[in-house]
Structure formats: structure tokens, C-alpha cells
Structure 1
């Protein structure tokens, strides 16, 4: 199968073809994604070629296609990796919150951390810049916002007892979804304007969450 045909295949799986169970397979998967991240950081995702990736990862092109049937699957796997890392960061950041003022401080710190990651990670910026043009990536972002909203709403329901649970859930979901949009906007404009946008979002979100 040549590279062009593989990349153009319709209905490609949203996840890698092979589920890496053994340690050796997991290590190979990690090496492929690390190599892809390095290439995208330098050249962008549009310029990513399966042959170049196989060479950088030190595997055959056939082995690469066993894990990823086309380039889109690699991009989605990288997005899943970043989502998992951000989820762990969010869970850790909210774990010690015991009251509403503490939530405000913790949420503000998470926003700052997330913004810093966006500024430092060209691969994440590249993936997110094409999020709305790729239905699978857009669906992944929406699912991630829902999951993060659930984390936040469970905490809010403990801190704001007696309030409407559905309203709490809607607010938490919206806060996260707007946060994703804010980060995309912030890294697409001049740094000073981006900083101001993130600061404004943080103020509005904390006011909504804490009151």
C-alpha cells in the first residue's frame, strides 16, 4: 500500500489499528508518537509523511501501518495523549479543594498551567488549530470538555449544596468548553493580547464558579 492511498483511505479508524498490550508494543507506540510529535513541532502536521515518520521512529513502513492506518489516526492519538495528560493535571489540581475560595485559587492555577502548556507545546497548538476542520478531533474535544465538566460539577455539587444540579452541570461544562476556545484564541494572537484574553476568561470563569 503506498503512502498516498493509505492517507486518503475513507472511514479510517479513530484509534490505532493495533491495541498495544505487550510491553514491546507499548514501547513502539510511544516511540512512534514521540517521533510524530518531533516532526510536527518542526514542520507542522500538514507536512507529516508516513515514510518520514517510520524512518524517524526506526521502524518499517509496514510496521507503522499496523499501528496507524493513516496520518489522521496519529494526530488523534497525539490529541488523546494530551487530553489524558491534561485530565491528570486537572484531577491533581482539584483534589485538595475543600471550599469555594480554594476552588477559585485552584481553577486559576489550572488555567495558568494550561496556558503555559499551550505556549510551550507547538504540537498541541498545531493539533488544536485544525480541531474544528476535523470532525473526529472536534468530537474528541467535546467529549473531553464533558468529562472535565463532570469532574468540576461533582466538586461544585459538594461545595454548593442545595443548588440545582442540572444548572451546576451546565455551568461546569460551559466553563471548560469556553476554556478550550479561549486557549485557541489566545495562542492565535499577539502574546500581550493573548495574556489579556486568558486573564479575562479566568476572571469570568471564577466568578461563575465561586460567585
Structure 2
């Protein structure tokens, strides 16, 4: 677990929940316009129409805001991964499902600059990297379970390591692909797909 908490305290009342949503919406607007590096607590408070004290009641610092946003995106991602891989029965269906996941993720990062920048903010903040690694491990476990359906006699530790590597390389490929011109990014994603397929579908 990361030492960085998300919310300092969970909003108990509807009024507080709405206030927190306003804060997060303000943070997303700032990130969309300026990037996560330019996110300032004072700017979030001003845009959300709350006092800086109210902001600090819920978010101790910028990292907590970024982590809260990341948790929301990660929850969506885990759900998507689980749904796509749920029907895997053989190597062919595993390769097809994982290929769809790559396309879904790439499209999401192209369409949602905030998601992309929150992800970059997680990587840039050392205190948040442990949280991000834990998320990668959780996603890799979902993939590993699907791989075990295809290779029921496979070594579980080897499969777990391969799944984590596939997920980690996928994250790196996404970051690289969205940082270069679109045509080049598409080629990078296609190259990653070929690498992933060779591991996911290459052995029975």
C-alpha cells in the first residue's frame, strides 16, 4: 500500500459528498487545461468555490487528489478487464479478449486527456508509485486467472510473472503511444499486441 491516502476522511453527508465532487471536478478541469504538474490546491479551492480549509478537510495534499481520481479510473479499468476476460476458454478467446482490452484502453487515453495526465502524475510522484504497482498487480492477477484457464497445468508463478510483465509493458506502451503522433502511436500499440499475443496464445 502507498503511504499516501486518498480522501483524508470520507464525506458522511450528501452535502459533503457534493462538495467533494465539486473539488474533484475542479481538479479535473485544471488538469485538462494545464496538466497535473500545474495542479495547485489553492486553484482547486477557488474553482470549486470552497475555502482552502474545506479542501484540506478532505484532501491533505495534491497527491491525495490525484490518487482519488486514479482510484476511480482504476476501478473502471479493473471492471473492464474482468468483464472482457470473463468468457475466456481457450488461447484464441484469450488473445481476442486481450486485443479488445488494448484497443479500449488506447481509445480511452486518446479520448480522455485527464485520465492520461492523472496516470502520468501517478508515475511522477514517488509516493504514489507503490499504489500504482499494487493496481498493476491486481490487474495482472485477473489476467493470470484467464491464462490459467488456457494453461491449467502451467506453473502458477511463471504465469503470474508473465501476466504482470504483460500488464506493465502495456502501461508503458500506452504512455509512449499517446506521447507521439497518432500514426506512430498506432504502430506502437500494434507492435505491443504482437508481443502480447506471442505470450498469451503461443503456448498451449
Q: Could you tell me the TM-score, scaled by structure 1's length? A: 0.87
Paired residues, number: 200
CA gap 1:144/1:13 in 2 versus in 1, 3 angstroms: closer
CA positional deviation for 1:36? 0.8
Give 5+ residue unaligned stretches, structure 2: none
CA positional deviation for 1:80? 1.6
CA positional deviation for 1:13? 4.0
CA positional deviation for 1:49? 2.4
Correspondence 1:110 to 2:104: no
Whole-Å separation in 2 of the counterparts to 1:130 and 1:65:
20
Deviations along 1:113-132, whole A, 9 cap, x unmatched?
00011111111222333444
Q: Could you tell me the TM-score, scaled by structure 2's length? A: 0.90
Give 5+ residue unaligned stretches, structure 1: 1-11
CA gap 1:120/1:131 in 2 versus in 1, 3 angstroms: same
Whole-Å separation in 2 of the counterparts to 1:203 and 1:22:
49
Whole-Å separation in 1 of the counterparts to 2:101 and 2:14:
33
CA gap 1:51/1:132 in 2 versus in 1, 3 angstroms: closer
Contact 2:23 2:45 in 1 (8 A): yes
Q: Which residue does 1:196 correspond to in 2?
A: 187
Contact 2:66 2:122 in 1 (8 A): no
Contact 1:13 1:69 in 2 (8 A): no
Q: Which residue does 1:9 correspond to in 2?
A: none
Deviations along 1:55-82, whole A, 9 cap, x unmatched?
3223222111100111121112111221
Structure 1: 4+ residue segments shifted above 6 A: none
Q: Which residue does 1:136 correspond to in 2?
A: 127
